[in-house]
């Protein structure tokens, strides 16, 4: 076992355009001994965002396939790069020794160390119910001051970053003043690059979910290496038997990777 | 609009062997004006049961495709025929005017009208955590006396029905006596045909999830026809825009149906 | 056992004026094989509405007596026709083989199949706390977007239906827009006849509690006939011993029925 | 306003046999300036215990009538003398300036000042679900270590007090050792006279619900006199309008009192 | 054992200025047989209010020392005189036979007997999170209509009582009208002397935490004397062994009392 | 700003014996760029363990003083080295830019990434209630399979490590088999050095709280350095005003450090 912690970041869509910028972002913040690979999917007919449950359903099977691959290739941790954390529990079942991490859970765990109550800034009101279910499932409902929507869909979040940032600032300010939020979480992996200015302007911690998820993966991947803290395989964490998997031939095809970059 | 309520029952696996027996079962208990179609999936490399999250992840996309089809073909209600209720929320988003129903939710809703506390008889301890999450999400955690496992996996439930029934009787008796259950739910759509004898023997209501889900679908499908109670499309229930769906070409392929029988 | 499902609808007040219109309403929406009887109470000195706990307390004993009668006369299901669901748990204990249903529980169970979050439109702010307790007891607190009062007491709800409908529309619109409700429930059995226009106008499912409760009773009554799913009599569901009942003479008097109509 | 705090204790059954012993008991523990009146009901055909919901339903209307009377006669506090706390919320609505108290709520409030977790010793397993609902409604579910049944029905609790006490001791010991209870509550107003020996034997506080309820009523009645802390009449606490009450004639008959003793 | 109930009121700060006015207040409302002693702390370098967690942390050890002393001197009950209830659980562990009471818990227990929902009027928004945690821990989160801040810090609450009262009136009125509060609790022991006028003006019960806590201590102290209901010492309530305490010498110094007055 | 992350580990007792072994342990697992300082307290008359609330109360003020010092000396993160997490919220208020971490919260956050349900192995039954409150406050009550006590007090945990390990193995095995735990957390910072063998023997992740807390502090300290994610100071996180602190002179004395070692 080498000293390198290996993280697999999955862009759970079929468009590789974000792979390099995200990889570069992570390459700039990783520890010396970490290696991060960024992949996107090879499947045609995929949406280029996951704003709807309909779209997420289309990529959940790929999350399972990539978790299987991550274990086979010896990754210490894998990240499902969408704030809905799609397929997290499924991927965790089949990931073998690889720790699977997702942005929403990573963000709320970090935020709870910095503030008693936080708000999540979301793109559209549509997201609120599903994300609140996630936050509740992770145990942080009592820390959630509010969800505040900025009225911008995922595909448009990076179109005019100044506009998006202005809307985040406005929503964040209201979350702090009206909902008594003490910290903010940006509720989409497509708002990257905006947290610093918001944090500086509003004076509270602003958690970017890409940073949170990547660093959490690096952290937990490191713990795995140091202390053998790999995922449990007992009871509800047990994977299907290998013989059955072989019989069904489910993982006989190549992993659904369309693009892979390393940093 | 005719007077016929049309129900689509989905066997969410790629093996059609259960289609006819299930169709015949439902054909025997439906109302005169109901028509039920049973389908299974056409996809190769599928598991023939869904005992693991890994397997469920592989069919979630098909649930979405079938919900889309159900709406297009004018079904009043569709059932996802697995007690884990896989993909229920996803299918509900895209089902248009079709009401989507699943066995676990249908069973607990019915049981709560008959008893204050019920137990779920499950095949293996492995299932307990995930099913408890479902029951909790539906709001019935306080009604759950216990989960009791009989130590038989899904593929073996119908192999020796006398043996399975004996194990259910034993687990059910302990649920009643030790956990103070007042009713029982059979926690797998593969335990069909066993509830009557258990109910007769133990003297409490025993809910079979196939019966519960099919009749609930017929009921809600009828309400849709009578009162226009179709699924909400507001806020978290909003589907993706049609134009975007067309652009991604997600639903351009034929629905993933391998077999369809009508009763 | 014939094929007819028999439902007893109880107007839990001492005025028979609503019996015929309600019977006619249900007669028009029932299935062919259903027979519904509507009764009101014979007791003098009763309020003609149940807007206060004080009034409900006065009729709870009669709900128990009627549940006893329903069982004796072989009704498959009985409905307590008030959205507070008064005496539901008490009536369920003594109802023998008859399934007891009530409007609030029936409405939230149906609504939860159609939307993730719903609001209840109530007559007066006064009702909110007690109804929220009911919704919470049934497990649906997390689905409740809000209670919205229209400022009209029960006795006036049917006085000027256009005015009442206008207030429901206004409250419903605010529930949808401000509270993010995705469906509406009308929180009184005296708002009957108004749900269609509200549903059409606002574009979300609008559940009328009379329709919901009657159809749920017919549904569960049918399940009883088909599958023997009668109420549990185990543990907390156990009724008093017959010998003790006879000794106390509690049910020796005639049932407190003032009027009975059949449809 | 004199300095005397007046408490009305209601034995919510139609048999006066317990009135004098209970009155004597309270007379012996009251403060100098307190006067306690004990009443039982005059209604024929009543059960002589309230072990079933069916029976409780029969006396709820009388609780409302007595609360009305208590206010009219200037009682500072009234107690509904049954550990199910039947009709508590209803009586509170109409009690005017009289504070209404009940044994279960009084007992858990006191116990929570003495221990972090307590068990309730009940007569029969049948009671557990309903009493747990009460404890939960009062906010003390997280303090409830367990319910332990001794297998004795209400009518037999005072038949052989040594036997009952022995069973309470056994159940209490198991509650402490197995369920980690730190205090005990006796879950029936018919176990009076047994708490001292149990407390001495087991070495933890043992709350008798008669003592708890009576002293809480005396306490809150005193606060009413000193600080004007009468029940709220706002929002959900609002009673019916007096004009409407007069119109219905509900309270025109004499209060349903069969026996009244003063101490 | 005499008939006198002895209560120790602790002003948990190092300034004795409030001791006499508080003692006089309690002296005026106590029962004849009660004796109340008021103490403040002797420690230098203490804050003169406890508005911050930082300050509370500085006095928690003294609460433990005083609880030890209270037991040694035979007090029946002790009150920690701050609405944050600082150190309550710690003091309860070591208080031996003395019942330890605190204003927030006492206030919500009393309020829940008078109203279904109440609001707490706090000085500054800062307090809301911590006090809500307290209310939640006591089991009354579902009764909490709101926290309403008046924008005045603890040191200024008694500076201009007319101004403070006016702000409480304004906040209380909004709590009632907007948050549907049915009763109010004043959320600081430094708002004493203001509840009467607010109660008279707003027409709902207004609980002053000093009155609530003192009378609750007197009440529970009396129960201890009458029924032997002393704090449990089982399981989580067990104190450290005496031998260990002696070994550490923790309680060898004199209690940290700077001033003591008796009434 | 240098690249070194600085962590302050506080042994919250007055005995320095553990400082060096703990420092050496952390020195062996830290990242290259981390520096860890271990301190114990200088106060006489302190207990040498914190198994009782009484003892914890005695050191809470010192946690506040050390958090103040940590900020003043530029530590990125501080750990309160006891699994009860004593004074965590208080220290967080006054820690300025230093992130304050504690073992229980760190352990459950990590465990929730590795398993759905975990048990905590505690020394004595006494601890269970308080630690469950902690776990609940952090949002992980639904992940807690059980607390299992090994019947060894804190002072004896390191006396015979083989014996302690054997008891942990036994309790852990029962937690897995009977309570269906999928991972274990050792519930005391004095069980260090035992997790590896337990993990190897039982085959599930075994979280040692010292490792968890130290690595979490290093992780969050690093995030602070990289992304400016310092603790929020808004609303409930606001510290006392500096002027007031100066006026009270609270922090004028030297920090209560008895020993400091660096690794």
> Is the predicted pLDDT of residue B1 greater than 50, yes or no?
no
Q: Which residue of E has its CA nearest to A142?
A: E133
- Average the pLDDT over each of A231-235, E130-134, E145-149, F45-49 and give the range with the smallest value: F45-49
Whether C contacts B, i.e. 3 or more CB pairs less than 8 A apart, is yes
Cα of C92 to nearest chain D Cα, Å: 9
- Distance, in Å, from the CA atom of A87 to the CA atom of A84, rounded to the nearest integer, reads 9
Give the residue carrying structure tokens 């990529």. Answer: A59
Answer whether residue E225 shows pLDDT above 90.
yes
> What average pLDDT is seen over chain B?
95
d(CA F226, CA A196): 11
Give the rounded distance of the alpha carbon of C168 from its chain centre.
20
The radius of gyration of chain C's CA atoms, rounded to the nearest angstrom, is 18
Cα dihedral E126/E127/E133/E137 (nearest 10): 180
**Contact criterion met (CB < 8 Å) for E56 and F90:** yes
Q: Is it the case that residue F45 has pLDDT exceeding 90? A: no
Q: Measured between CB atoms, which of A56, A128, A239 is closest to B236? A: A128
Residues in chain D: 263
Chain A positions touching C116 (Cβ under 8 A) are: 129
Question: pLDDT at position F44, please?
Answer: 63
Q: Nearest chain E Cα to C126, which residue?
A: E180
The confidence band for B46, taking pLDDT boundaries of 50, 70 and 90, is: confident
Burial of A201-239, coded b for 16+ CB within 10 Å and e otherwise, reads: ebebbbbbbbbbbbbbbbbbbbbbbebebbbbbbbbbeb
Query: Is residue F149 within 8 angstroms of chain D, CB to CB?
Result: no
Distance of CA D63 to the CA centre of its chain: 12
Contact B116 D129 (CB under 8 A): yes
For C:234-253, CB contacts with B below 8 A are 234-237
SS3 A75: coil
Angle B128-137/B103-111 helices, nearest 10 degrees?
60
HEC letters along chain D: CCCCEEEEEEECCCCHHHHHHHHHHHHHHCCCCEEEEEEEECCCCCCCCCCCHHHHHHHHHHHHHHHHHHHHCCCCEEEECCCCCCCHHHHHHHCCCCEEECHHHHHHHHHCCCCCCEEEEECCHHHHHHHHHHHHHCCCHHHEEEEEECCCCHHHCCCCHHHHHHHHHHHHHHHHHHHCCCEEEECCHHHCCCHHHHHHHHCCCEECHHHHHHHHHHHHHHHHHHHCCCCCCCHHHCCCCHHHHHHHCCCCCCCCEEEEEEC
Percent of chain E with pLDDT strictly greater than 90: 87
Q: Mean pLDDT, to the nearest integer, of D95-122?
A: 98
Using CA atoms, how far apart are residues E149 and E127, in angstroms rounded to an integer?
9
**Is B47 within 8 Å of B181 (Cβ atoms)?**
no
Dist. CA B202–CA B184, nearest whole Å: 10
Confidence (pLDDT) at D44: 63
Q: Let me know: does C215 contact B223? Beta carbons within 8 Å.
A: yes
pLDDT of residue B83: 96
Name the one residue in this structure whose structure tokens are 């100066």: F246
Does A25 have pLDDT greater than 80?
yes
Cα-based angle A236, A238, A239 (whole degrees, multiple of 5) = 125
Angle of CA points E197, E202, E207, to nearest 5° = 65
**Candidate CATH numbers 3.40.50.12500, 3.40.50.2300, 3.40.50.10860, 3.40.190.10; the one for domain D5-102+211-262:** 3.40.50.12500
Instruction: Select from C225, C230, C183, C224 the least CA-distant residue to C202.
Output: C183
Identify the helix (H) or strand (E) that includes residue E145. strand E144-149
Q: Is the pLDDT of residue B101 over 70?
A: yes
pLDDT at position D10: 97
Within the 104-143 window of chain D, which residues sit less than 8 Å (CB to CB) from chain F? 116-117, 142
Domain ranges, ordered by start, for chain E? 5-102+211-262, 104-208
Binning pLDDT at 50, 70 and 90, where does residue C209 land? Answer: very high
Taking residues A206-233, what's their average pLDDT? 98
- In this predicted structure, what is the pLDDT of residue E45? 66
Give the CA dihedral B132, B135, B140, B144, nearest 10 degrees. -40
Q: What is the pTM of this model?
A: 0.97
| Helices E209-227 & E103-111 angle (0-180, nearest 10) | 90
Phi, psi of A113 (to 5 degrees): -85, -10
Domain A104-208 sits in CATH 3.40.50.1970: no
- Mean pLDDT of the region E129-136: 98
Using CA atoms, how far apart are residues B88 and B110, in angstroms rounded to an integer?
18
**E233 part of contact set with chain C, CB < 8 Å:** no
How do residues C48-91 score in pLDDT, each as one tens digit?
Answer: 899 999 999 999 999 999 999 999 999 999 999 999 999 999 99
Mean pLDDT, residues F126-138 taken together: 97
Q: How far apart are CA C45 and CA D2, in angstroms?
A: 36
Of A114, A204, A220, the CB nearest to F99: A114
User: E22 with E11: CB under 8 angstroms?
Assistant: yes
Residues A82 and A99: their CA atoms lie apart, in Å, by 16
Residue F129 with chain E: CB contacts under 8 Å: 235-236
Nearest-by-Cβ selection for D223 from E110, E196, E220: E110
According to the model, what pLDDT value does residue A191 have?
Answer: 78
Rg over CA atoms, chain D? 18
pLDDT for residue F225 is more than 50? yes
Average confidence (pLDDT) over F95-104: 98
Least confident residue range of A214-218, B153-157, F92-96, F226-230: B153-157
Residue closest to F116 by CA, chosen among A135, A89, A78, A67: A89
pLDDT greater than 50 at residue E1: no
Residue that the structure tokens 């009828």 belong to: B222
Cα–Cα distance, F77 to F223 (Å, whole number): 10
User: Could you say which DSSP state residue C33 is in?
Assistant: T
Query: Residue E134: its pLDDT value, please?
Result: 98
pLDDT higher than 60, residue F1? no
CA nearest to E81, candidates E158, E22, E127, E133: E22
**How much of chain E, in percent, has pLDDT values that exceed 70?**
98
pLDDT classification of D158: cutoffs 50, 70, 90: confident
Confidence class for position E2, pLDDT limits 50, 70, 90: low
ipTM: 0.97
- Residue B171 φ then ψ, to 5°: -65, -40
- β pairing state of B34-41 and B257-262: antiparallel
Contact status of D22 with chain C (Cβ, < 8 Å): no
Give the HSE-up count for residue F191: Cα atoms under 13 Å, Cβ half-sphere.
33
Query: What SS3 state is found at F104?
Result: helix
d(CA C88, CA F196): 56
E246: confidence class by pLDDT, cuts 50, 70, 90: very high
For residues C178-193, give the mean pLDDT: 91
Question: What confidence tens digit (pLDDT) does each residue in E149-193 have?
Answer: 999 999 899 889 999 999 999 999 999 999 999 999 999 887 788
| C-alpha to C-alpha distance for D119 and D106, rounded to whole angstroms | 15
Supply D131's token pair.
């009493």
Buried/exposed code over B84-100 (b: 16+ C-beta within 10 A; e: otherwise)? bbbbbbbbbbbbbebbb
Model confidence at E73, in pLDDT bands (50, 70, 90)? very high
Question: With bands split at pLDDT 50, 70 and 90, how would you rate the model's confidence at F98?
Answer: very high
Cross-chain residue pair C229–B115, CB shorter than 8 Å: no
A5-102+211-262 and A104-208: identical CATH topology: yes
CA distances from B209 to B206, B220, D238, E93 (A): 10, 16, 45, 51
pLDDT at E88: 98
A155 pLDDT band, cuts 50/70/90, is confident
Pairing between β-strand F34-41 and β-strand F257-262 as defined by DSSP bridges = antiparallel
Question: What is the structure's pLDDT at B45?
Answer: 66
Tell me how far apart the alpha carbons of residues D121 and D187 are, in angstroms, rounded to a whole number: 5
Q: Is residue D1 pLDDT above 60, yes or no?
A: no
Mean pLDDT of chain E: 95
């Amino acid at each position: 076992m080498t000293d390198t912690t290996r993280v697999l970041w999955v862009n759970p869509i079929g468009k590789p355009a974000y792979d390099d910028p995200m990889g570069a972002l992570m390459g700039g913040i990783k520890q010396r001994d970490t290696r991060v690979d960024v992949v996107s999917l090879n499947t045609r007919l995929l949406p280029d965002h996951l704003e709807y449950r309909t779209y997420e359903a289309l990529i959940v099977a790929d999350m399972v396939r990539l978790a299987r691959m991550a274990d086979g290739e010896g990754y210490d941790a894998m990240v499902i790069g969408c704030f809905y954390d799609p397929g997290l529990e499924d991927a965790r079942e089949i990931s073998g020794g690889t720790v699977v991490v997702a942005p929403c859970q990573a963000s709320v765990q970090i935020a709870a160390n910095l503030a008693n109550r936080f708000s999540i800034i979301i793109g559209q009101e549509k997201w609120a119910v599903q994300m609140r279910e996630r936050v509740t499932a992770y145990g942080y409902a009592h820390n959630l001051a509010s969800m505040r929507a900025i009225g911008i869909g995922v595909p448009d979040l990076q179109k005019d970053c100044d506009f998006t940032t202005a809307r985040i600032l406005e929503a964040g300010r209201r979350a702090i003043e009206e909902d008594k939020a003490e910290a903010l979480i940006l509720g989409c992996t497509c708002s990257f690059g905006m947290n610093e200015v918001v944090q500086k302007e509003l004076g509270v911690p602003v958690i970017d979910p890409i940073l949170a998820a990547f660093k959490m993966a690096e952290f937990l991947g490191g713990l795995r290496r140091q202390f053998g803290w790999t995922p449990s395989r007992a009871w509800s964490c047990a994977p299907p038997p290998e013989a059955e998997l072989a019989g069904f031939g489910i993982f006989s095809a190549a992993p659904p990777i369309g693009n892979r970059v390393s940093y």
